[in-house]
Structure 1
Amino acid sequence: MKIAALITLAVSLICTIMYVAAGIGGTGELAWVNGWMIGPVLLMFVVPVLFSVSQKLGDGLAALRGAVPRSFRDAPIGMGTVVGVARTGLSVNDQPQVDIQLDVDTPNGLSFRGTARQIIDVTELASVRPGAILPVRYLPDGQVTLAIDATQGELQAALNRVQMAKGHITPQQLHIAENGIDARAVVLALAPTGEIRHGRSVVSIKLRITRADGTMFDLNQHKAIPASAIPQLQPGAPITVRYLPQDESEVAIITALTP
Structure 2
Amino acid sequence: MKTIAWIVLLIGAACTAMYVATGLGGGPVAWANGWLAGPILLVFVAPTLFSLAGKLGGGFAALRGGVPKQFRGAPIGMGTVISVGRTGLSVNDQPQLAIQLRVDAADGRSFVGTARQIVDLTELGAVQPGAVLPVRYLPDGSVALATDASQPELQAALNRVQLAKGHITPQQLRIAEHGIDASAVVLAMAPTGEIRDGRTVAKVTLRITRPDHTMFDLTQEKALPQSAIPRVQPGSAVQVKYLPHDESEVAIVTSLA
1:121-155: CA deviation from partner (whole Å, max 9, x where unpaired): 34544543222222111110011111121122221
CA gap of 1:116–1:212, structure 2 versus 1, over 3 A, is same
CA gap of 1:80–1:89, structure 2 versus 1, over 3 A, is same
CA contact (8 A) 1:102 1:114 kept: yes
CA gap of 1:213–1:92, structure 2 versus 1, over 3 A, is closer
How far the C-alpha of 1:230 sits from its partner, in A, is: 4.0
CA gap of 1:229–1:128, structure 2 versus 1, over 3 A, is closer
Alpha-carbon distance in 2 for matches of 1:153, 1:255:
12
How far the C-alpha of 1:108 sits from its partner, in A, is: 0.8
CA contact (8 A) 2:176 2:253 kept: no
CA contact (8 A) 1:239 1:255 kept: no
CA contact (8 A) 1:201 1:225 kept: yes
How far the C-alpha of 1:170 sits from its partner, in A, is: 1.1
Specify the structure having the higher radius of gyration (Cα): 2
Gaps of 5+ in 1: 1-62
1:147-197: CA deviation from partner (whole Å, max 9, x where unpaired): 121122221111111111111111110110111112233334433434333
CA contact (8 A) 1:77 1:135 kept: yes
CA contact (8 A) 2:155 2:255 kept: no
Alpha-carbon distance in 2 for matches of 1:126, 1:238:
25
Alpha-carbon distance in 1 for matches of 2:243, 2:91:
50
Please name the residue that 2:212 is paired with: 213
Q: What percent of counterpart residues are identical?
A: 71
CA gap of 1:152–1:229, structure 2 versus 1, over 3 A, is closer
How far the C-alpha of 1:235 sits from its partner, in A, is: 4.0
Alpha-carbon distance in 2 for matches of 1:193, 1:205:
10
Alpha-carbon distance in 1 for matches of 2:86, 2:200:
38
Alpha-carbon distance in 1 for matches of 2:226, 2:83:
24
CA contact (8 A) 1:206 1:219 kept: yes
CA gap of 1:222–1:135, structure 2 versus 1, over 3 A, is closer
TM-score w.r.t. structure 2 length?
0.66
The alignment partner of 2:176 has SS state of: helix
Alpha-carbon distance in 2 for matches of 1:186, 1:143:
41
How far the C-alpha of 1:250 sits from its partner, in A, is: 0.4
AA at the equivalent of 2:240: V
CA gap of 1:227–1:81, structure 2 versus 1, over 3 A, is closer
Q: What is the number of equivalent residue pairs in this alignment? A: 197
Please name the residue that 2:152 is paired with: 153
Gaps of 5+ in 2: 1-60
Name which structure has the greater RCO, CA cutoff 8 Å, separation 6+.
1
Please name the residue that 1:65 is paired with: 63
Please name the residue that 1:135 is paired with: 134
CA gap of 1:141–1:183, structure 2 versus 1, over 3 A, is same
1:234-258: CA deviation from partner (whole Å, max 9, x where unpaired): 444443321101111101123679x
Please name the residue that 1:59 is paired with: none
CA gap of 1:108–1:99, structure 2 versus 1, over 3 A, is same
Report the aligned-residue RMSD.
2.8
Please name the residue that 1:85 is paired with: 84
Alpha-carbon distance in 1 for matches of 2:201, 2:194:
5
